[in-house]
């Protein structure tokens, strides 16, 4: 019985230290290549530095953002006509995880 408890403790300890290492990637400010996409960072796209992106700020020639241009209204979760940094990061994270 003690071997079973020891094995369980070892498994829990291992899981505690390995799970953070395989956590989903996050989009960080200024990072040109967030995860598996080549999506520019929010700061690179926010040309007028107003803290939001409108559809016209999304480049037409950026392959990683073609879906975003096509589905901009879906990425705009609050429906205000622009993307906040959080909305953009959520969209790019969905691309990385295969949700879009």
- What is the CATH number for 66? 1.10.238.10
Q: What is the pTM of this model?
A: 0.59
pLDDT, residue 14, reads 61
Q: How many separate domains does the chain show? A: 1
Q: CB–CB of 47/40 below 8 Å?
A: no
DSSP strand pairing (83-84 vs 52-53): antiparallel
Strands (E), the chain: 52-53, 83-84
pLDDT tens profile 75-99: 999 999 999 999 999 998 887 666 5
Report if residue 13 sits inside a domain: no
Q: What average pLDDT does the segment 17-42 reach?
A: 55
Q: CB–CB of 45/51 below 8 Å?
A: no
């Amino acid at each position: 019985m003690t071997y079973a408890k020891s094995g369980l403790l070892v498994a829990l300890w291992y899981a505690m230290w390995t799970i953070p290492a395989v956590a989903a990637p996050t989009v960080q400010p200024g990072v040109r290549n967030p995860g598996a996409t080549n999506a520019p960072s929010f700061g690179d796209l926010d040309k007028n530095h107003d803290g939001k992106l409108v559809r016209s700020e999304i480049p037409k020639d950026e392959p990683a953002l073609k879906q975003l241009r096509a589905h901009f209204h879906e990425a705009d979760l609050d429906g205000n006509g622009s993307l906040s940094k959080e909305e953009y990061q959520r969209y790019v994270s969905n691309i990385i995880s295969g949700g879009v």
